[in-house]
Structure 1
């Protein structure tokens, strides 16, 4: 009987320790750099962008001037509220004819929106939307989005 008690205690302690391990989940989609290298500003269009890297996470929020690809990494740890530890926003801008004018990637550092890379100088017209995307870190839940909260 003593051996089974030790095994039971070992199993319970292993289960408790496993519950104390942080889990990271990725949400959204940001295309890999090798796929982005195939897009040529001034040449490619909305249709070729969709063909090369897929349909964007969102577009047309302010106008049809850009596609936004958003990816986040969320840390889940026991009973604590999930915490967004990383967020990347890729912005592909278009002119009135639907031709790519700019490709920019933004990250998060110390709570501030930080440009990671840019292929073409931008006028900054999309910065307000990007700040809103980063400003919602940790404030959105599936329940809220589905109308339950």
Structure 2
């Protein structure tokens, strides 16, 4: 009988520990911002006709740039994520500030894009065919005999 009570108490302890890990506590999740922190006050300061120097003073240097024709675009990306203590990162919100300049390095326009404005791009996974066959390690050994 005491063995049966010991097994039951061990099973109850294991169940209690397992259920303790299933609580709805958010202490295992931390919220943080990756990339730029784009404050609303900085967005209000960027207007058409301003120079690239002023944009650099207000926002800093861009994360990435793009030149097409006589226009240049600067991109500032802010991503808010929840990260678990296990290293999983879940994107909650993404904001991309795009500032477009003319050939005289003056602001033409600015645009703010959200996560919903993005498009998923499928990466091509097909391989370019080569002449002959891909030989496995076993095929190579067997062909040597």
Fold shared, TM-score > 0.5 on shorter chain? yes
Other-structure match for 2:76: 69
CA contact (8 A) 2:33 2:78 kept: yes
Alignment of 1:69-108 (within 5 A): 69-79=76-86, 81-108=88-115
Report which of the two structures shows the higher radius of gyration computed on alpha carbons.
Answer: 2
Structure 2: gaps spanning 5 or more residues: 1-16, 122-145
CA contact (8 A) 1:30 1:88 kept: no
User: Displacement of 1:37 after TM fit?
Assistant: 1.6
- Residues of 2 paired with 1:20 and 1:51: CA distance? 37
User: Displacement of 1:86 after TM fit?
Assistant: 1.0
User: Displacement of 1:62 after TM fit?
Assistant: 5.5
- Residues of 1 paired with 2:45 and 2:26: CA distance? 43
CA contact (8 A) 2:47 2:109 kept: no
Check 1:80–1:54 CA distance in 2 against 1; reply closer, same or farther (3 A cut).
closer
Q: Tell me how many residue pairs correspond in the alignment.
A: 101
Tell me, yes or no, if structure 1 residue 51 matches structure 2 residue 32.
no
- Residues of 2 paired with 1:25 and 1:38: CA distance? 25
Other-structure match for 2:30: 23
Structure 1: gaps spanning 5 or more residues: 1-11, 114-130, 137-149
